[in-house]
């Protein structure tokens, strides 16, 4: 690829036997791109800009994960409840137009580092993550 040349400008079309890394990223059967963000204004804005750039390169994000969502917990702490309420507008912005599939991952008291810990999260359903919006399988929250 030429320096400074936009990725979407290079098109190998249907040339048999040619498969570039970009073509694999553009193929939803080969690659699922997840956008992970925090339920805060600035991270969601940055993630939406990333999504725009991915789409410009003809890479469609599969889903968004909103990580560390206090609103997905049952916190009784008054201060944390105020913060959880503030997340709702940001989460609605994501589920209302930025993403076709969105999952909330609740705030965790401990960090999950490494393959074993992350595997445990997956087996536990993203620690009881909430499918905020996933019309692909008919689940809406």
The answer to the question of residue 129 being in a domain is yes
Domain count, the chain: 1
The answer to the question of residue 22 being in a domain is no
Domain that holds residue 38: 29-140
CB neighbour burial string for 25-43, b if at least 16 within 10 angstroms, e if fewer: bbeeeeeeeebebbbeeeb
**What is the full per-residue pLDDT of the chain (141 aa) written as tens digits?**
445 555 555 555 566 778 899 999 999 999 999 999 999 999 999 999 999 999 999 999 999 999 999 999 999 999 999 999 999 999 999 999 999 999 998 998 888 788 888 777 777 764 444 555 544 433 333
Would you state the pLDDT for residue 83?
94
Alpha-carbon distance 34 to 51, whole Å? 10
- Its pTM surpasses 0.75: no
Q: In CATH, what number is assigned to the domain containing residue 87?
A: 3.40.50.300
Would you state the pLDDT for residue 13?
59
């Amino acid at each position: 690829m030429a320096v400074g040349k936009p990725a979407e400008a290079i098109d190998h079309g249907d040339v048999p036997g040619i498969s570039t890394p970009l073509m694999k990223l553009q193929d939803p059967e080969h690659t699922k791109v997840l956008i992970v963000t925090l339920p805060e204004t600035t991270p969601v804005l940055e993630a939406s800009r990333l999504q725009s750039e991915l789409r410009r390169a003809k890479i469609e994000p599969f889903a968004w994960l909103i990580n560390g969502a206090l609103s997905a917990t049952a916190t009784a702490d008054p201060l944390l409840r105020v913060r959880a309420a503030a997340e709702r507008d940001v989460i609605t912005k994501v589920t209302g137009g930025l993403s076709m599939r969105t999952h909330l991952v609740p705030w965790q008291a401990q960090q999950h580092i490494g393959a074993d810990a992350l595997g445990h999260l997956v087996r536990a359903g993203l620690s009881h993550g909430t499918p905020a919006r996933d019309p692909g399988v008919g689940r809406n929250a």
